[in-house]
């Protein structure tokens, strides 16, 4: 969402790990993640009024590549707004070739106590050679506004020494009716380094947006550092 609604990731989208290919069957069909973040950013915009929060994801995956799950995070859109976001998703991932994996997911964003903000988004991701990803998202009801929204994203990961990873991403959010959402089309970007320390994966990144985002969302779209500590199985 954003000021009036929250437009991330789950953790999904570019901030989420690349989807596993259909052939990569996990040791258990159920996986989970618990993440502590210094701010919940969704496509460059804070969903927690620049405050820290906890997030959790639970996913069931089949050997065929189909999966279903849910994501929850604290949010803060101002006085009287919801305190939590709960997303539900279903998808399918498969290897289109030896180096390209395709993933199609339908995500349902919901906000208990504020059902008028709920909406669906179809997200398609192509992962190339395991280190690059192209994402396209589409909804016909962005932030419950009744207008179309698109998201286009690129991401690349570089493997560093000492089991660290450098990631860079850029994305573009566009609306069919800017007046309906009281926001302009905008660009977001990020650069982050992550490394595993025992059972925890620690990530520190710098996230930013262009002038259009800052004009639409104020300080919620300011450039900032983001620290996250994730535990997963």
The CATH number of 13-232 is which of 3.30.70.20, 2.40.160.160, 1.10.3720.10, 3.10.129.10?
Answer: 2.40.160.160
CA 90 to CA 59: how far, in whole Å?
9
Mean pLDDT of the chain: 90
pLDDT value at residue 81: 80
pLDDT in tens, 185-216: 999 999 999 999 999 999 999 999 999 999 99
CA 196 to CA 128: how far, in whole Å?
23
- Does 37 have pLDDT greater than 50? yes
CA 179 to CA 56: how far, in whole Å?
34
Model confidence pTM above 0.75? yes
- Does 4 have pLDDT greater than 50? no
Give the model's confidence band at 23: pLDDT under 50 very low, under 70 low, under 90 confident, else very high. Answer: very low
Q: Are 154 and 137 in contact (CB under 8 A)?
A: no
pLDDT in tens, 127-175: 999 999 999 999 999 999 999 999 999 999 999 999 999 999 999 999 9
CA 193 to CA 157: how far, in whole Å?
9
pLDDT in tens, 89-99: 999 999 999 99
- Does 16 have pLDDT greater than 80? no
Mean pLDDT of 101-127: 97
């Amino acid at each position: 969402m954003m000021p009036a609604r929250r437009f991330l990731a789950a953790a999904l989208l570019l901030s989420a790990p690349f989807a596993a290919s259909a052939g990569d069957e996990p040791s258990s069909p159920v996986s989970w993640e618990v993440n502590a973040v210094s701010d919940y950013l969704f496509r460059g915009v804070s969903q927690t009024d620049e405050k820290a929060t906890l997030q959790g994801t639970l996913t069931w995956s089949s050997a065929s590549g189909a999966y279903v799950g849910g994501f929850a995070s604290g949010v803060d859109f101002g006085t009287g707004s919801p305190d939590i976001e709960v997303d539900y998703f279903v998808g399918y991932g498969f290897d289109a070739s030896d180096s390209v994996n395709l993933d199609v997911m339908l995500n349902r964003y919901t906000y208990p106590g504020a059902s008028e903000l709920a909406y669906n988004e179809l997200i398609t991701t192509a992962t190339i050679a395991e280190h690059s990803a192209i994402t396209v998202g589409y909804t016909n009801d962005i932030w419950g506004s009744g207008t179309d929204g698109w998201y286009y994203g690129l991401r690349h990961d570089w493997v560093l020494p000492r089991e660290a990873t450098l990631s860079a991403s850029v994305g573009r959010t566009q609306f069919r009716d800017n007046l309906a959402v009281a926001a302009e089309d905008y660009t977001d970007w990020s650069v982050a380094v992550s490394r595993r320390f025992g059972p925890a994966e620690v990530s520190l990144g710098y996230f930013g947006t262009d002038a259009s985002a800052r004009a639409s969302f104020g300080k919620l779209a300011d450039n900032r550092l983001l620290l996250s500590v994730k535990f997963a199985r």
